[in-house]
Amino acid sequence: MEDKAINLSLNVTAPKSISETDQSVLQIWGRNPLQGEVKISGAKNSALAIMAGALLCSQDCRISNIPSLVDVTRMSQILASLGVKLQINGDILDIDARDIGQSKAPYDLVSQLRASFFVIGPLLARLGIARVPLPGGCAIGARPVDLHVQGLQAMGANVRIEHGI
C-alpha cells in the first residue's frame, strides 16, 4: 500500500501533478504552513501481540516504541505471572522469557484484557499446555473466541473450555 497525496485545503489549488515517485509522503496544501515534529507512539494492538510473541524466544527481546498504556501494563503483568522477567525504560521494553514457570494465566489479570488470548499459542508451543481464562477487557460488547479456538484446533491443539477457562 502506498501513500497518496491528500488535499485538505479550501479553495487552494494543489500542484498540477504529483509524480509517481513523490507519492511516498503525505502532502497537505493549505493556508498555513505546517512546522514542528510529531512523535508517533507505537500501536497498542501490535505491541500486545509482539509482547505475547516474545514468549516464544529463548533469548532476551528488546521492543522499542512501546506505548505507555494500561493495556501494555496489563499484558506485562500477565507475562510476569507466567515467569517472564520484564524491564521497561521509557518506551523500551526488555523481555526475558527463557524461564517460563507457569502455564496458567491468572483470571484477575486476563479478565481485564481482551488481548490476553494472544499468550495461548506461544504457551502451547513452549510448554505444550496453556490454561488461560476467557478474555475480558472489551467495552465493544460480546466477541466470541470461536475463531481463536478453530485456529488452535486447526494446528492440532486439543481445546476445552470449562468454567470459563
For residue 163, name the pLDDT band (cuts at 50, 70, 90).
Answer: low
Find the catalytic residue in 70, 129, 138, 165.
138
Indicate if the pLDDT at residue 162 is higher than 80: no
Per residue in 94-106, pLDDT (tens digit) is 999 999 988 999 9
Confirm or reject CATH 3.40.190.10 for domain 44-154, answering yes or no: no
**Residue whose grid cell is 500542484:** 15
pLDDT over 70 at 113, yes or no? yes
Domain boundaries along the sequence of the chain:
1-36, 44-154
**pLDDT, tens digit, 9 for 90 and up, residues 11-58:** 445 555 555 555 677 777 778 877 888 888 888 999 999 999 999 998
Q: What percent of the chain has pLDDT over 90?
A: 44
Residue among 71, 99, 72 nearest 85 (CA): 99
**Cα distance between residue 51 and residue 62, in whole Å:** 10
Residue 57 annotated among the catalytic residues of the structure = no
By C-alpha distance, which of 119, 108, 47, 49 is closest to 83? 119
Per-residue pLDDT at 11: 46
